[in-house]
Amino acid sequence: MTTDPVSASGTVHWIGAGLSTGSGLATLCDTAERVRLWHRTESRAADALDRLGLAGRAEPRAYTLPALAAELAPGDVVVSMLPASEHAPLLAECVRLGAHFACSSYVSEAVLDQVPAAEKAGVVVLTEAGLDPGIDHLFAHALVARAREAIGDETPASYSLTSYCGGVPAVPNDFTYRFSWAPAGVLNALRSPARYIEGGTETVAGRPWEATRRHVVEGETFEVYPNRDSVPFVAQYGLPDAWTPRTFVRGTLRLEGWLRAWDGVFEELKRGDDDRITALAQELAAAYPTTDDDRDRVVLAVSLDVRAGTGRTWAGGYLLDLVGDARESAMARCVSRTLALGVRHVLDGSLPPGLNRAAGTAARSEQWLSELARHGVEFTLRVDQ
C-alpha cells in the first residue's frame, strides 16, 4: 500500500546559489507561499537575490544543516543545489522532520538507501530533475512511447538510442569549452569508466574520452563520448523486451576540436596523480574563468531509431539548443526551471512519496515538456516514419 504524501506546507527552502541557480527560483517565488534562499552567508544569499531580481521576494539565510533543520516544518520542500555528496545527510533530516526533498543530481547509493524510510514517512524524493539528468529523461520517455505505439511492444525489432548533452561556449574559444560547473568535477567525471551498448554488445571505456567520435546534429559537427553507466536506463526508459539494442549511449557533447584542444589535460588524467589533478583543476579555473560577458550554449540531442523485422521503421529525435543571455546562462535556465517545475508538482501533491526521477512515465514527460516550453525552455521534435 502506498503511503499518502505529507501535505505540502507551501514553504520552499532553496539551498545554494551557484552557477545553476537561475530563473527557476523566480518561478517558485510566484508559486510558493514562502521561499528561503540558503547560501554560505546571509549576505551572500542576499546578494544572489539581488542578482536574480528577487530582493524582498525570498528570505536570505546562512546555511548550515542544523540551522536549516531548526526552520524545517512538515511539508516544507528542500531544494538542494549542493554537491551530490551532501544530499544524503540533508535527506536524512528531511525524512526525520517530514519535509520533501528535490535535487537535479543523479541518485547516489546513499540517497537510495533512505528511499524506503522516506516513502514510509510520506516524503517525496525528487531527483534527476535538471538538464542532464532531467530533460534528457523526458525526451527519451516521450520518444520511446511514440516508437512503441508505431512498432508495437511485441514486434521483434532492433533500436539505436543516443542521448548527448553538453554545455559549451556560444562563441568557440581555443579551449573549446566553458566551465558551467566546478573544474574538479569535470576532470573527475572524465576519470570514471563509462558502460554503454555498441554493436549490440555491452562495452566499457576505461577512459571515456578515448571513445570520442564525430556526431552531426542539424548539419553541425560535434564530438561526443559516453559517460557513466548507460545500461540501467534501458529498463528505466521502458524499452520493450522484444526489442534488441544495437546502440544505447548516454553521453557528453563537445564542440568540434575538443579532443585535440584537451590533449594536454588527457595526458595529466592518464597519470592518475590525485594531487596533480586537483592542482590542474585550479589552474584551469584561473586560465578559463567564467565572466559576465561570456555566453554559454546548451545542446541536448536525443534520438531513437527502431527497425522491425517486418521492415517497419520509426525514427525520431528531440533537440534543445539554447544560448544564454545577460540575465542568466542557458545552463541555469534549463536546470533551475526544470527543477522548479518538479518542485511545483511536489507542492500540488501530484508526485507520490518515495523516489521520483524527473517525470518517470511518458504521459508525465509530455506534460512536463509542454510546461517547460511555456516557461521558455524551447526545443524541437523530429519524427520520420
Largest CA distance in the chain: 65
Alpha carbon distance 304, 142 (integer Å): 10
* 132 flagged as catalytic: yes
What is the distance in angstroms between the CA of the first residue and the CA of the last residue of the chain?
42
Quote the strand ranges of the chain, DSSP E.
Answer: 11-15, 34-39, 59-62, 77-80, 100-103, 124-127, 157-169, 194-198, 201-205, 213-217, 220-226, 243-255, 296-308, 313-323, 354-357, 380-384
Q: What are phi and psi of 111, to 5 degrees?
A: -75, -45
Among candidates 175, 126, 198, 141, which has minimal Cα distance to 355?
Answer: 126
Bridge partner residues of 164 (DSSP): 251, 301
Burial grade of 59 (CB within 10 A; 0-12, 13-18, 19 or more): middle
Q: What are phi and psi of 308, to 5 degrees?
A: -85, 155
- Cα–Cα–Cα angle for 56, 59, 63, nearest 5°? 150
Among candidates 165, 178, 172, 134, which has minimal Cα distance to 329?
Answer: 178
* Exposure of 206 in the CB half-sphere (CA atoms within 13 A): 3
Catalytic residue among 47, 113, 132, 229: 132
Would you say how long the chain is, in residues?
A: 385
Bridge partner residues of 197 (DSSP): 202, 248
Handedness of CA 303, 216, 171, 250 (dihedral sign): positive
- Known catalytic residues are 132
